[in-house]
Amino acid sequence: MADTTFASLLLGLLEGLTEFIPVSSTGHILLAGHFLGFQSAGKTFEVVIQLGAILAIVGVYAAKIGQTLTGLPRDPAARHFAGSVLLAFLPAVVVGVLAHDFIKTVLFESPRLIAVMLILGGVVLLVVDRLPLRPRHFQADRFPLPMAFAIGVIQCLAMIPGVSRSGATIVGALAFGADKRAAAEFSFFLSMPTMAAAFSYDLWKNRALLDGAAWGEIAIGFVAAFVAALLVVRWLLGYVGRHGYALFGWWRIIVGTLVLAALGVGF
């Protein structure tokens, strides 16, 4: 029990620390779980603890969310923002429902695939960070609707563990003309419906597999993810605005390389 509690706490912290930075939180906790020997029923723990990170981002942006919701009946700008987030969310709904079982039973069970995706995603981040992009969109709540939908399509790549949901949406937004801060903020807002839907659907699909011990593990991971995510969200926007995404690209490459080496010697 003590070992399970420690693993749940560690994985929850890892989820919160990595969910909103472009390094793949799911990839990190799946790899950490592999090396810790942590097994959850139906891989539900790894998805459901994301609720902690969701609540953290809701807390940070509570004022903006409240302003948008209350402005929907009368404010075209609020309707545009809400519509852009929902439009970006739709592709993930379709692909997530159709490919759920394949993702959970095949992709989630391949540490080597995750490591390769970490490395490839790191290379993409380094390349994008060096491109002479000229931002045209500086406010996340004013992205054009076609651009928002295209970002949502790109987000679907993150259903391959190791790709990174935030990494895919940030790179997509940058490629379509967003500045670094606006790209990160739109990724934050898009994470709310995306992660909430993944959490709800996965919990429903695996409800019969969860016993008291599983719920205890989830509770520990949830709290740890919430606290860690609060710290990261407040720090990330300032950091990327000043320094870009190269640090995260190198981190992905290093972690992916170390994992491949460990797997190669039989860990």
Res 237: pLDDT: 74
Residues 119-160 have pLDDT tens digits of 999 999 999 888 888 999 999 999 999 999 999 999 999 999
Residues 96-125 have pLDDT tens digits of 888 888 887 888 878 999 999 999 999 999
Domain segments of the chain as ranges: 2-264
The answer to whether 141 and 81 have CB atoms below 8 angstroms apart is yes
Question: 233: which 2 tokens?
Answer: 């969200």
The answer to whether 100 and 197 have CB atoms below 8 angstroms apart is no
Residues 39-75 have pLDDT tens digits of 776 667 877 788 888 888 888 889 999 999 999 999 9
Q: Return left, alpha or beta for 29; rule: phi > 0 is left, psi -120 to 50 is alpha, else beta.
A: alpha
pTM of the model: 0.86
Question: 101: which 2 tokens?
Answer: 């079982």
